[in-house]
Structure 1
Amino acid sequence: MIHVEKYHGTGNDFIVVDAALTVPDRRAFAIKYCDRETGISQPDTETTGADGVLFLALEKQYSPPRVVMTLVQPDGSVATMCGNGVRCAAAWAAEQTGADELMIDTLAGTRRATVGDETVRVEMGQPSFDPDTVPLAEESPLIEASIDDLTVTAVNTGVPHAVAFVDDVADVDLQRIGPSVRNASVFPEGANVTIASKDAERPGHVFEQRTFERGVEDETASCGTGAVAIAAAARRLGRIDGSESVTVCPEGGTLEVTISADGTTLAGSVAQSYATELPVAEPRRIS
């Protein structure tokens, strides 16, 4: 049995495991406990499973403390980056250390995070439309190209996203169209599919968001890299002007994205849901 905690960032939920604990088969562990029908169950709720497992190696000797983050997704793959995952990792590390500033090492690079009373903010780096970075199976950036029934713009915000602006996100059958765009031949490594619609009733730059996530292979309640992708694509397409603050509203809450010449930041709430003990399989012996 190992101790685990459950965190979520605006509904994007993760099982958090201290990497100092031995999990012989991380892939099998994630597949088992993230399953939305048979996985980890939250007490007194109908919530089952998770959007991934965060294995976090805390290095307290640094100032600010560092966390090496490995995100294993429900299909057993390892994600390069996850905006809400980084924010949850920072909140967990802040509980362990008392620090309000953390450095989170991901496969996409190191991200600085700041933990406040109600908000965790993380520096997300510079979004890229470069076809080699996204990556794309063509030599030019993919800007407002037609794939299936969506007009998408491809951007990498730590992971690849195909962003489509639509009249109303509620009118899109994302369960049908998501897999088609996610697996389109133009994306050799696949892509997250993020749709956005402008909220005309609220002042400023406010977008509704839905995302079909690669590795989860389903729609999630929130996606941090997707929120950043919306802001980046909106700026590229002239839907917002200059250095702006963009509010993105997925199903699970509200995220704030700030764009500047130095990169982008992502901010929103994080909460610990509960803690429990889970059994892990014994290491396999080779005779």
Structure 2
Amino acid sequence: MAALENRPFVKMNGLGNEIVVLDLRDAPLPVPPAEARALAREDVLPFDQIMALYPPKSEGTRAFVRIINADGSEAGACGNGTRCIALYEAGRTGDNHVVFESVAGLLDCTVAPEGITADMGVPHFGWHDIPLAGPVADTRAIELQAGPAEAPVLRAPSVVNVGNPHAIFWVHDIEAVDLGRYGPELEHHPVFPERANISAAQVVSPDHIVLKVWERGAGLTKACGSAACAAAVSAARIGLTGRRVTVTLPGGDLVIDWRESDDHILMTGPAVFEFDGRLTAAMLDAPTGVGAA
């Protein structure tokens, strides 16, 4: 019997970032990587992340959240998923202010008609915090490129940790960048010992960034909240924008405010319910040779 068989799930999305919510607070089962990969199949229940809710560890929080990618690996943060579970919990309890906890820290969320705001904490810019494989002089631009050596398509990214490692490549024409081609290579580059989320970002104006994201463990995605936060703070850090920007992703817009008073990143955007159901053995059982641990 599959570990998660017969468990209820809720399918949601944040800007097209496909999220499965598993509320395991009454039965704190692990999410086996093989079952996650089986579930993520295109003909089953494709998702970018599972947000698995476990009994709270800290007073005042609603749940401890584990974030599982489509490839079965675990992530430290998922901004779009955080907004989804905030809406889920608000719908379940009627409370418009909820706090969760993850390996990256506390996630303070407010649900309002104009959008859901999640406090994503403070960014970390030290090479060892990201982490990188070794010291670099300045994480605002590191030596890394993709494409032909004589004419690289992507080069000198800003790097930052916003719950996950992120590399942001600044480009002049985002539509000309085939991130699906270069994303896998860069995600697994030796400079990133824990892999990294790879973004191509075009600064349109001091308050507007257009972003494409290759997400660690999920691939090309319509939206990635932590990547939007990473791009926003990195752009402000090198003087390309102010501290409050709109980030446009293929799935839509997020408003990112890098609060000056305490350096916390506030992300505001939508989340929606799609459907719910129960996991079955067939959904969780991969064919022979697929999804093995």
After TM superposition, the score normalised by the length of structure 1 is 0.86
Map of 1:235 onto structure 2: 236
Distance 1:94 1:269 in 2: 14
Q: How does 1:167-186 map to 2 (within 5 A)?
A: 167-186=172-191
* 2:54 pairs with 1:52: no
Q: 1:67 to 1:100 in 2, by over 3 A?
A: same
Residues 14, 53 of structure 1: 8 Å contact kept: yes
Q: Give how far 1:237 is off.
A: 1.3
Distance 1:26 1:143 in 2: 37
Distance 1:175 1:32 in 2: 23
Map of 2:211 onto structure 1: 209
Residues 199, 213 of structure 2: 8 Å contact kept: yes
Q: Give how far 1:106 is off.
A: 0.7
Q: Give how far 1:9 is off.
A: 0.9
> What are the Cα deviations for residues 232-270 of structure 1, in whole angstroms up to 9, with x where unaligned?
1101211024xx311001011110000123121111001
List alignment gaps of at least 5 residues for structure 1.
Answer: 41-48, 283-287
Taking only aligned residues, the RMSD between alpha carbons, in angstroms, comes to: 2.0
Q: How does 1:255-274 map to 2 (within 5 A)?
A: 255-261=254-260, 262=262, 263-274=264-275
* 2:174 pairs with 1:143: no
> What are the Cα deviations for residues 150-186 of structure 1, in whole angstroms up to 9, with x where unaligned?
1211111110000011112211011111112111111
* 2:35 pairs with 1:29: yes
Out of 75, 78, 84, the residue aligned to residue 79 of structure 1 is: 75
> What are the Cα deviations for residues 88-123 of structure 1, in whole angstroms up to 9, with x where unaligned?
111111111111111111110111111112411011
- Greater CA drift, 133-142 or 169-178: 133-142
Runs of 4+ aligned structure 1 residues displaced above 6 Å come to none
Map of 2:221 onto structure 1: 220
Distance 1:223 1:79 in 2: 12
Map of 2:127 onto structure 1: 131
Distance 1:86 1:24 in 2: 19
Distance 1:279 1:163 in 2: 39
Q: Give how far 1:58 is off.
A: 5.8
User: Percent identity among equivalent residues?
Assistant: 31
Out of 118, 137, 141, the residue aligned to residue 122 of structure 1 is: 118
Determine helix, strand or coil for the equivalent of 2:252: coil
Map of 1:43 onto structure 2: none
Determine helix, strand or coil for the equivalent of 1:96: helix
Residues 28, 54 of structure 2: 8 Å contact kept: no
- Greater CA drift, 111-120 or 24-33: 24-33
List alignment gaps of at least 5 residues for structure 2.
Answer: 1-5, 147-151, 286-293
Determine helix, strand or coil for the equivalent of 1:190: coil
Equivalent position amino acid for 2:276 in 1: A
Distance 1:24 1:156 in 2: 26
**How many residues get paired?**
265
Out of 170, 191, 199, the residue aligned to residue 194 of structure 1 is: 199
Determine helix, strand or coil for the equivalent of 1:199: strand
After TM superposition, the score normalised by the length of structure 2 is 0.85
